Structure formats: C-alpha cells, structure tokens
C-alpha cells in the first residue's frame, strides 16, 4: 500500500493504477473499525484500484472540543487499510486541503439544515465541501459511504446529482457490535455505564415506530428522533451521553438501487 501525504503524491501514485481501471474512493476520518473495513472490502471487490482518504476534516466540526477529542491512530489505521486491500492511503494535513486563503464552500441547502444540520450548524457544508474536493482530487469511478450516516449519504447523493459529478455513490449497511450498537469511532470514549445506556438507541430504532422509540429513550438526552425521507426512508435518532453524541438509523423501506451492495452499475450517477 502506498501512503500519500500530498495531493501531488496521491496523483502520482494513481497514474500507473488508472489506465482504463476503475478507481474506488472511501472517504474516512480514521480510527478504523469494521464499518470502515466493510467499505474498503466492497471497494476492493468492485474496483481495480482502491483509495482511502484519512482526514479529520476540521470544517465539519462545529465544536473545537469534539475535533480535539476525535481519536487518531494513523499507524494502526495504516496496518488495517493495507490488510483490507487498500492500494493508496491518502492522509493529508489540514493545510494541504485548506491552504491559506481558502474560501470556497459547497452547501446542500434544505437537506443539510434538518436533523443533524440543526444540531451541528455548518457540519454538512464541511462534509459536502470535503467530498467535492476529494472527488476532484481522486476522480474516482465509485465512492463508498456507510448507511450509518444516512443524512450524509443523502447529502452526497444530492451533491453528485446537483453538480453533475461523474461518480457512482455506493452506500453500504451499518455494521453493529453484538449488543446492537452501531460501530462508531466515538464509541471508544464511552464509559461502561454510558455504553449500557447507548444500547437503548438501536433498541428504540428497531421498533421502527417513532412513538414507541421515544418511550424507550425516556430519561436520555435525545437531540431528535424522526422519520426522514432520505431515499430510502429511515427512522433516525441522535442522543447525547455526556459530551459524546451518537447517531443511528434504521431503514423503513426497501433500499433503492445503489444502496446496500446492489450490483455496481457502469460509471455514472445513480
């Protein structure tokens, strides 16, 4: 596996891989777990070359404390990405992606202002901007995202449609721990008691009924629990345990093409 720190290094490493081959991109913020690895494996199966980006994007954190507390372990991530078959790990600095004078942002408007957007102002502007930058830098045929972040996946699909970006968006199912909790890089910060409380979220969502789910979450700090029409429709929720915020969702209808390991289509927007 090649390790690229700069855009120039990444693009030089891609030249010998590209010639007619399909390139898959998996954007991540590191602290890899089985959720990330499932995306790497899907990209490995469906593409000739796999690029994973590892970048804790400051532009999508509305709170400096959350950014500072975000777990980082690049040496471990490098080992896991290599073992999962990633060809190039792109791990740039913030200065590489946001050089002095940077001032251009992309905003997916209404979709980015609901649910997570209400509680994390500016978050999806940061997400949309970094995804567009990564699409332009890597020029992948396919890009892989997790259903765990359902609103993010919906926003990226909207961005790609609205701006005619020639990339196929693939969304893969949420990977969960045995206790039902969706894997998240933030889970490592939960105390044993918080972890026990967190299990209420997947249990509540599994009812697929907002009223029953709200009952099961009584006593917890719930930011929202709502049905959202993200194509497919989901029941989505966010809770806070101390300074840790957890999000999760379940599908309320069958997946649409492009979701959940449907066979890949020819290069193009789904």
Residues forming contacts to ligand AMP in the complex (CB under 6 A) are 28-29, 35-36, 38-39, 145-146, 148-149, 172, 174-175, 182-185
Q: Cα 119 to the chain's mean position, in Å?
A: 17
Structure tokens at 131: 């995804």
Nearer to ligand AMP, 90 or 145 (CB): 145
CB 223, min distance to ligand AMP, A: 18
Helix (H) or strand (E) holding 182: none
Burial class (CB in 10 A: 0-12, 13-18, 19+), 234: buried
User: SS3 for 52?
Assistant: strand
Alpha helix segments (H runs only) across the chain: 7-18, 34-46, 64-69, 74-83, 94-97, 109-113, 116-119, 123-138, 150-162, 192-198, 200-206, 210-216
Nearer to ligand AMP, 178 or 211 (CB): 178
Is residue 3 flagged as an active site residue? no
Spatial CB neighbours of 87, under 8 Å, sequence gap ≥ 6? 1, 2, 13, 17, 49, 50, 51
CA nearest to 10, candidates 140, 101, 104, 100: 140
Spatial CB neighbours of 193, under 8 Å, sequence gap ≥ 6? none
How far apart are alpha carbons 19 and 206 in whole angstroms?
45
CB 129, min distance to ligand AMP, A: 14
| Helix, strand, coil percentages, rounded to 5, for the chain | 45, 20, 35
CB 137, min distance to ligand AMP, A: 17
Nearer to ligand AMP, 175 or 206 (CB): 175
Q: Which of 3, 33, 36, 123 does the annotation list as catalytic?
A: 36
CB 215, min distance to ligand AMP, A: 25
CB 144, min distance to ligand AMP, A: 7
CB 35, min distance to ligand AMP, A: 3
Q: Which residues are catalytic?
A: 36
């Amino acid at each position: 596996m090649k390790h690229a720190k700069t855009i120039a290094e990444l693009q030089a490493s891609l030249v010998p891989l590209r010639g007619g081959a399909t390139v898959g991109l998996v954007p991540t913020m590191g602290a890899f777990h089985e959720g990330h690895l499932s995306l790497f494996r899907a990209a490995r199966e469906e593409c000739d070359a796999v690029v994973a980006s590892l970048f804790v994007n400051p532009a999508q954190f509305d709170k400096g404390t959350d950014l500072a507390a975000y777990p980082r372990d690049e040496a471990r991530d490098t080992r896991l990405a290599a073992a999962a078959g990633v060809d190039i790990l792109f791990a740039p600095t913030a200065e590489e992606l946001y050089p002095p004078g940077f001032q251009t942002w992309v905003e997916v408007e209404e979709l980015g202002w609901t649910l997570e957007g209400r509680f994390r102002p500016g978050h999806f502007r940061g997400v949309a901007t970094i995804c567009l930058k990564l699409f332009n830098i890597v020029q992948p045929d396919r890009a892989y995202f997790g259903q765990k972040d359902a609103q993010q996946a919906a926003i990226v699909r909207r961005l790609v449609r609205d701006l005619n970006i020639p990339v196929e968006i693939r969304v893969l199912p949420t990977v969960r721990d045995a206790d039902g909790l969706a894997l998240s890089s933030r889970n490592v910060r939960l105390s044993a008691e918080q972890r026990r409380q967190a299990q209420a979220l997947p249990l509540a969502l599994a009812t697929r009924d907002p009223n029953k789910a709200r009952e099961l979450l009584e006593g917890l700090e719930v930011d929202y629990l709502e049905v959202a029409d993200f194509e497919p429709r989901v029941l989505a929720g966010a809770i806070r345990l101390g300074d840790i915020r957890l999000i999760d969702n379940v599908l309320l209808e069958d997946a649409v093409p492009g979701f959940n390991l449907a066979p890949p289509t020819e290069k193009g927007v789904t």
